Amino acid sequence: MEIRKYGDPVLREKARAVAEVTDEVRELIKDMAGTMYENKGIGLAAPQVGVKSRVIVVDGGQGLLALINPEILSSPEAGEELAEEGCLSLPEITVEVKRARKIRVKGLSEKGKNIETEAEGLLARAIQHEVDHLNGILMIDRISYARRQLLRSQLKKLEKAHA
């Protein structure tokens, strides 16, 4: 699948909930996972491949986790941490982003079953990053204005390449 890059309007749109887990959704998950691994990513959201559905795949080192209609449940007691992030839709750009260190997330599995799980560290970060994509939020939206200004020329180059 083609990964959409910064400047593509689909990255700023809010994805729609998946009404039913079908073979088509399972095929999307399989294709997204293949695309993520092929591009050496640890997460991918459906809008990043041009599909406006609430589907994510992540692999924080424990194997593939696919979530349909994921919802992050708050874990304020777990605290936050600042760490560097990259994004397949923003190639060659990394920024430090503050995120919850530990989260609970619920959603549907590929089989359409309700699942709820805890994640921490890299997996928690990847899930939060991908859920942001489902809401039209990019990692650069979570950094200071001053830091964004420092990235302005790189972002303009990506926008120009997309146009």
What's residue 161's pLDDT?
A: 83
Q: 13, 27, 120, 130: which one is catalytic?
A: 130
What's residue 67's pLDDT?
A: 98
Q: Is 159 a catalytic site residue?
A: no
Tell the CATH topology of 9-162.
Peptide Deformylase (3.90.45)
Q: From residue 34, how far is each of 17, 37, 160 by CA, in Å?
A: 22, 5, 27
What's residue 162's pLDDT?
A: 74
User: pLDDT at residue 1 above 80?
Assistant: yes
Residue 6's pLDDT band (cuts 50, 70, 90) = very high
Half-sphere exposure of 144 (CA within 13 A, CB side): 4
Q: Across the chain, what does the average pLDDT equal?
A: 94
**Cα–Cα distance measured from residue 138 to residue 148, given in angstroms and rounded to the nearest whole number:** 12
pLDDT-above-90 percentage for the chain: 87
For the segment 93-120, the average pLDDT, to the nearest whole number, is 95
What's residue 35's pLDDT?
A: 98
Question: CA angle at residue 114 from 112 to 118, to 5 degrees?
Answer: 130
User: pLDDT at residue 65 above 70?
Assistant: yes
What's residue 76's pLDDT?
A: 63
For the segment 19-47, the average pLDDT, to the nearest whole number, is 97
Q: Could you tell me the pTM of the whole model?
A: 0.94
For the segment 152-161, the average pLDDT, to the nearest whole number, is 88
For the segment 94-112, the average pLDDT, to the nearest whole number, is 95
